[in-house]
Chains A and B, each alone.
Chain A
Amino acid sequence: MNTVTCGSAPLRANKPFDRRGRPPAKHFQLHMNIFTTQAHQAADKTGVLELANDVDPRTLDLSGITRIDLQFPTFTDGRAYSQAYLLRRRLGFAGELRATGDVLIDQLLQMQRTGFDVAVLKEGVDASAAQRQLDRYAGFYQGSAVDTQPLFAKAA
């Protein structure tokens, strides 16, 4: 049975303080939409590009593309993280980046930070523990695709 809560309610986490213990000037939020496989398959495929994880996204024409589905053949194959980073950060892709394949809750944070905004959880994965994985850390050292400033720049 699939116990995933399907829908678009974002999971969010607040960053309560910076490394010196002060509240951040700008409240930054993590959010990630979690889809079931069924919801993913039912969705309209217009403007959707499904990208294998060995394709260099910089070689693509992205005009008219509103959503890119990136693949995790196994969750230990991390190539799609670099694709997402390049799409979101380098190429400025503003559409949806969707994680598909062997998507588990312990990698949601990495996905969110490299630019994914939607994750299709693998069939059978219980999403009930997902929220607290995104809430856990008050901040990170390095900048990411979506929160681009490293900690040292924020603290300065």
Chain B
Amino acid sequence: MYQYTEFDKAFVRARAAEFRDQLGRWQTGQLTEDQFRPLRLQNGWYVQRYAPMLRVAVPYGEINAAQLKVLARIAREFDTPDAAVLAEAQATQDKLPGMAPKLTTNYGHFTTRQNVQFNWIPLAKAADVMDLLATVNMHGIQTSGNCIRNTTTDELAGVAVDEVVDPRPYAELIRQWSTLHPEFAHLPRKFKIAITGASEDRAAIGWHDVGLQLVKNEAGEVGFKVLVGGGMGRTPMNGVVFRDFLPWQDIMNYLEAVVRVYNRWGRRDNKYKARIKILVKAEGQRYVDEVETEYREILERDGGLHTIPQSELARVQAGFVQPALDLPESTDEWLAQAEATLGIEAAKTPAFARWLAQNVKPHRNLQLRAVSLSFKRPGYAPGDATADQLDAAAVLVEKYSGGEARVSHTQNLLLPWVRLDQLHALWQDAKALSVAQPNIGLLTDMIACPGGDYCALANARSIPTASAITERYQDLDELHDLGPIDLHISGCINSCGHHHSGHIGILGVDKDGKEWYQVTLGGSDGKHLSGAAGPGKVVGPSFSAAEVPDVIEAILETYKQLRAPKANGQQEAFIETLRRVGQEPFKAAANAARQPHETQTA
């Protein structure tokens, strides 16, 4: 994990002090609500449905045990609303038709952009929380607002077996370049960058404003494939390839050109048309040409001062200190012994075998594995972790993963440095913590936004729908038989739950003050199984909350009837059957699952 320098640390502290100053001026009326809003947003502070929400940046998802402990402390000591606020919120939620789960407090929430959110911290305590975060080099810089957001990457970065180039040093360089960039603090709209260095795209780069894939050319030199103009929301689009190979040294110069032209040309009259994807689509080649011209001028007229020297890359690479793992010598005997012991345990305990198969990924170091702790379990919203669970997770991270973890894009916590001979012990500890569900990549490992229980923008709740589906699919044999499925749930068209990219997507819509849900099929985040990134297609008019679990079941039953064995003898995955047979049988099944009296025509 990247080790912060004294400069980095002082910078984070200065930002906390600046925010305290701004908060104080807002509290004393020197800043109006409108003047304060962008300032608090660019520090991660939203004002949500019932309370403020804080989004803490976890740069490219890397987090250490000490940071997790501070997040636990924030959950425990600060994520508590006034009793009156909570009572009023619960009373309001209770008036909604259908299920009204109890609102929960004192927890952190892992987000799809690898950050962590809190939902109940009173704004009056905001500056204290930022100071506390700064003690472990954390902050909320640019986690919201119309600026360059946290750069995300592959959760397996630096350990993946299919990695061509470790993307983390480049992500860190981009973090530095984009942090408090004076020219790009007030863009037309938010701007998200994702970067991968593996052959499989686990960072959904096609769905980002800029997607970067590290590649090597024939000469073995490192460069970026550059995609521009992806995004979800009302008009889902995938990034267009601007460069097949941009030398790595030039990435900041190129990003500067992309963002400068966007700042100059992007629409500001309509926030739904303000993302760069709209500009790329509307201007086409003219935008590409302008970016290329701007890029040349940055190099030729400005002197290309952000060209990254080899020495700087080396310095940042060296900053990614691999944790001290005290590994025994890697001999064939040691590996054979460790594998054999694992095999014996797996044979004795099918649940352990299942966990090994589902939650444990290979590692470039044969003595190690990358292990996902699943934060998808009954009784909790996807990605939620209580204060105690965050503390307990920190202990596991310290004990089994050299003190380092990753917040994954799929809202789980990944331990990237686990010894082969400690997997069984980790499994037992994870089980005790209820984060050993062997469901990574399966239906119940769903992505969901906080939705209408917490979010001011949501049209409908996500969490009750997520829990209804989770509860229905608790039979592990059935879950495993259904195989890998990306189920993504968003409470509104802003698409924080990435419904567009789900094999099955669920989108909350509001109709006459009631919650309805559109179901889409066939979306892809861009990983191998899912195919080229692209949005799913709507199956028909929206469904009521009560209908959704039946609709999902009908779709999955259709898959079970239609799936065929593949050439390698394995069953087709859901998305493969869908691609082969098309939408029609699934649509018919979904629409047949309607409850007639609740049908509507929206």
Chain A residues with Cβ under 8 A from B17's Cβ? Answer: 136
Chain B residues with Cβ under 8 A from A79's Cβ? Answer: 263-264, 268
Contact A156 B264 (CB under 8 A): no
The reply to whether the CB of B77 lies closer than 8 angstroms to some CB of chain A is no
Chain B residues with Cβ under 8 A from A132's Cβ? Answer: 21
Query: Per-residue 0/1 for B1-43: is the Cβ within 8 Å of any A Cβ (1 yes, 0 no)?
Result: 0000111101100100110011001000011000100110000
Known contacts A142-B176, A143-B305, A143-B306; is-contact A110 B185 (Cβ 8 Å): yes
Query: Per-residue 0/1 for A114-156: is the Cβ within 8 Å of any B Cβ (1 yes, 0 no)?
Result: 1000000000001001001100111111111000111111001
Q: How far is the CA of A30 from the CA of B163 in the complex (A)?
A: 44
* The residue from A18, A89, A126, A150 contacting B306, defined by CB atoms under 8 A apart: A150
Contact A136 B176 (CB under 8 A): no
Contact B176 A75 (CB under 8 A): no
Known contacts A79-B264, A148-B305; is-contact A142 B177 (Cβ 8 Å): yes
Q: How far is the CA of A126 from the CA of B24 in the complex (A)?
A: 14
9 A-B pairs in the complex with CB atoms less than 8 angstroms apart = A77-B186, A81-B184, A89-B302, A107-B185, A129-B30, A136-B17, A138-B10, A142-B177, A143-B306
Known contacts A20-B6, A156-B309; is-contact A82 B183 (Cβ 8 Å): yes
Q: How far is the CA of A106 from the CA of B43 in the complex (A)?
A: 13
* The residue from B21, B38, B315 contacting A129, defined by CB atoms under 8 A apart: B21
Number of interchain pairs (Cβ within 8 Å): 119
Q: How far is the CA of A107 from the CA of B297 in the complex (A)?
A: 27
Q: How far is the CA of A112 from the CA of B187 in the complex (A)?
A: 18
CB distance from B21 to the nearest CB of A (A): 7
* The residue from A17, A76, A129, A148 contacting B146, defined by CB atoms under 8 A apart: A76
Q: How large is the interface on A (under 10, 10 to 19, 20 to 34, 35 or more residues)?
A: 35 or more
Contact B7 A153 (CB under 8 A): no
The reply to whether the CB of B180 lies closer than 8 angstroms to some CB of chain A is yes
The reply to whether the CB of B328 lies closer than 8 angstroms to some CB of chain A is no
The reply to whether the CB of A50 lies closer than 8 angstroms to some CB of chain B is no
CB interface residues, B 42-60, toward A, < 8 Å: none
Q: How far is the CA of A115 from the CA of B214 in the complex (A)?
A: 34
Top 7 A-B pairs, shortest CB-CB distance: A19-B7, A78-B186, A113-B182, A141-B176, A152-B312, A110-B182, A81-B183
Query: Per-residue 0/1 for A95-115: is the Cβ within 8 Å of any B Cβ (1 yes, 0 no)?
Result: 000000000101101111110
New A-B contacts (11) at CB < 8 Å, excluding given A137-B180, A150-B306? A78-B146, A104-B31, A107-B186, A113-B183, A129-B21, A132-B21, A136-B14, A138-B10, A141-B179, A143-B306, A156-B312
Chain B residues with Cβ under 8 A from A106's Cβ? Answer: 22, 31, 35, 39
Contact A152 B309 (CB under 8 A): yes
Q: Which of B14, B183, B305 has the most CB of A within 10 A?
A: B183
Contact A78 B38 (CB under 8 A): no
Chain B residues with Cβ under 8 A from A76's Cβ? Answer: 38, 146, 186
Known contacts A56-B264, A129-B21, A153-B305; is-contact A114 B182 (Cβ 8 Å): yes
Q: How far is the CA of A89 from the CA of B183 in the complex (A)?
A: 12
CB distance from B110 to the nearest CB of A (A): 27
A residues touching B (Cβ–Cβ < 8 Å)?
A: 17-21, 54, 56, 75-79, 81-82, 85, 89-90, 104, 106-107, 109-114, 126, 129, 132-133, 136-144, 148-153, 156
Residue total for B at the interface (Cβ-Cβ under 8 A): 45
Chain B residues with Cβ under 8 A from A141's Cβ? Answer: 11, 176-177, 179-180
CB distance from A129 to the nearest CB of B (A): 6
CB interface residues, B 297-316, toward A, < 8 Å: 297, 301-303, 305-306, 308-309, 311-312, 315
B residues touching A (Cβ–Cβ < 8 Å)?
A: 5-8, 10-11, 14, 17-18, 21-22, 25, 30-31, 35, 38-39, 146, 176-177, 179-187, 252, 260, 263-264, 268, 297, 301-303, 305-306, 308-309, 311-312, 315
* The residue from A17, A78, A129, A148 contacting B263, defined by CB atoms under 8 A apart: A78
Contact A77 B7 (CB under 8 A): no
Chain A residues with Cβ under 8 A from B25's Cβ? Answer: 129
Contact B7 A151 (CB under 8 A): yes
CB distance from A136 to the nearest CB of B (A): 5
Q: How far is the CA of A153 from the CA of B18 in the complex (A)?
A: 26
Closest to A150 in B: B306
Q: How far is the CA of A143 from the CA of B322 in the complex (A)?
A: 30
Closest to A86 in B: B260
Q: Which of A56, A139, A141 has the most CB of B within 10 A?
A: A141
Chain A residues with Cβ under 8 A from B301's Cβ? Answer: 90
Chain B residues with Cβ under 8 A from A129's Cβ? Answer: 21, 25, 30
CB distance from A87 to the nearest CB of B (A): 12
CB distance from A152 to the nearest CB of B (A): 4
Q: How far is the CA of A139 from the CA of B15 in the complex (A)?
A: 12
Closest to A129 in B: B25
Chain A residues with Cβ under 8 A from B260's Cβ? Answer: 82, 85
Closest to B298 in A: A90
Chain A residues with Cβ under 8 A from B39's Cβ? Answer: 106
Chain B residues with Cβ under 8 A from A143's Cβ? Answer: 305-306
Chain A residues with Cβ under 8 A from B183's Cβ? Answer: 78, 81-82, 85, 110, 113-114
Closest to A149 in B: B305
Q: How far is the CA of A82 from the CA of B177 in the complex (A)?
A: 16
Chain B residues with Cβ under 8 A from A139's Cβ? Answer: 7, 11
Contact B11 A137 (CB under 8 A): yes
* The residue from A75, A138, A142, A149 contacting B181, defined by CB atoms under 8 A apart: A142
Chain A residues with Cβ under 8 A from B264's Cβ? Answer: 54, 56, 79, 82
Closest to A126 in B: B30
* The residue from A56, A144, A149, A151 contacting B182, defined by CB atoms under 8 A apart: A144
Q: Which of B182, B311, B315 has the most CB of A within 10 A?
A: B182
Q: How far is the CA of A152 from the CA of B313 in the complex (A)?
A: 10
